Amino acid sequence: MVRSSQAWYVKSVEKTFAVLGAFTAESPRLSVSEVAAAADLSRAAARRFLLTLADLGYLSGDGARYQLAPRSLNIGSAFLSSLTLPALAEPHLKTLSADLQETASICILDGEHIVYVARITSPRLVSVAVHVGTRFPAWATSMGRVLLAALEPEDMESRLDRSDLRPYTPNTLWDRAALLDEIDGVRQRGWSVVLEEYEEGLSGVAVPIHQGNEVVAAANVSLHHRNPTGPALSETVLPRLRDAAAAISADYGIRVTG
């Protein structure tokens, strides 16, 4: 939980968002005790926050377990509606997805996570449900590594410090030294490929989207688990993904340098 000593700081707001942030894709339904532990609150305080948020319509529950209610979408919908990048990117993602017959997505970096802001799905089956607003640990994903590689070293290391580095699958690169080497490699070559590191059957390749010299987002194409690498990656998928990212950048008022 973020702490501040500023005189204007309202701790109850901090605690409210800590309670809301306790609900994740991995833990969508939580008990009072689980929320208390996740938000660093006493059980009594957690219960008061949960009951208040339920009365306001942001949570639903039966008193034993709670979950986010549809009204909680209002918190992020204003941000998404004001973000022009997804709308500008959608035609290019549709073309890319249809061309490659794969899912194409765009993510931004939020703390130590990536957040999907645009996604065009292909008919191919993917082993996890991913949609706009889904969050994944940045270090374990192709888009996340592209975005981490664009940060100043101190900022990138700080985000890794706050990350839960652990093996999600047998393929996960979670040793910190090896992970730093990989992120450095992503920085040098300008793209990242991750093969079944976060979820078995889920692989992807990603490239950055720029605003001037600044990386503002990452674009990704899923890789079919039967043939995720090989000539198709370097000769077909990566060039078309780069072309799409450059087109999105141009439509976003961006001129990619170099």
CATH code of the domain covering residue 145: 3.30.450.40
Is there a single domain that holds both residue 165 and residue 239?
yes
Is there a single domain that holds both residue 152 and residue 197?
yes
Is there a single domain that holds both residue 113 and residue 239?
yes
Is there a single domain that holds both residue 57 and residue 103?
no
Q: pLDDT for 21-66, tens place per residue?
A: 899 878 899 999 999 999 999 999 999 999 999 999 999 988 789 9
| Mean pLDDT value across the chain | 87
| pLDDT above 90 for 75 | no
Question: Is 78 among the domain residues?
Answer: no
CATH code of residue 51: 1.10.10.10
Burial of 81-114, coded b for 16+ CB within 10 Å and e otherwise, reads: eeeebbebbbebbebbbeebebbbbbbbbeebbb
- Which residue, of 45, 71, 97, is where some domain finishes? 71
DSSP letter string, 139-159: GGSHHHHHHHHTS-HHHHHHH
Residues paired with 204 in a beta bridge: 194, 222
Q: Which of 22-31, 172-181, 229-238 has the lowest mean pLDDT?
A: 229-238
Overall number of domains in the chain: 2
Percent of the chain with pLDDT over 90: 62
Is there a single domain that holds both residue 46 and residue 133?
no
Domain that holds residue 137: 83-251
> In the numeric block, which tokens belong to residue 255?
């001129």
Helix (H, G, I), strand (E, B) or coil at 12: helix
Question: Is 123 among the domain residues?
Answer: yes
Q: What's the CA dihedral at 95, 124, 235, 198 to 10 degrees?
A: 110
Is there a single domain that holds both residue 60 and residue 155?
no
Please report the pLDDT score of residue 142 as a whole number. Answer: 96
How crowded is residue 203: how many other Cβ atoms within 10 Å of its Cβ? 21
Is there a single domain that holds both residue 19 and residue 59?
yes
Distance of alpha carbon 209 from alpha carbon 217, whole angstroms: 5
Is there a single domain that holds both residue 63 and residue 145?
no
pLDDT band of residue 256 (cuts 50, 70, 90) is very low
Question: Is 167 among the domain residues?
Answer: yes
Cβ(139)–Cβ(179) under 8 Å?
yes
Question: Is 237 among the domain residues?
Answer: yes
Question: Is 190 among the domain residues?
Answer: yes
Is there a single domain that holds both residue 175 and residue 207?
yes
Q: pLDDT for 197-227, tens place per residue?
A: 998 888 899 999 998 788 999 999 988 755 5
Annotate 61-89 with three-state secondary structure: ECCCEEEECHHHHHHHHHHHHHCHHHHHH
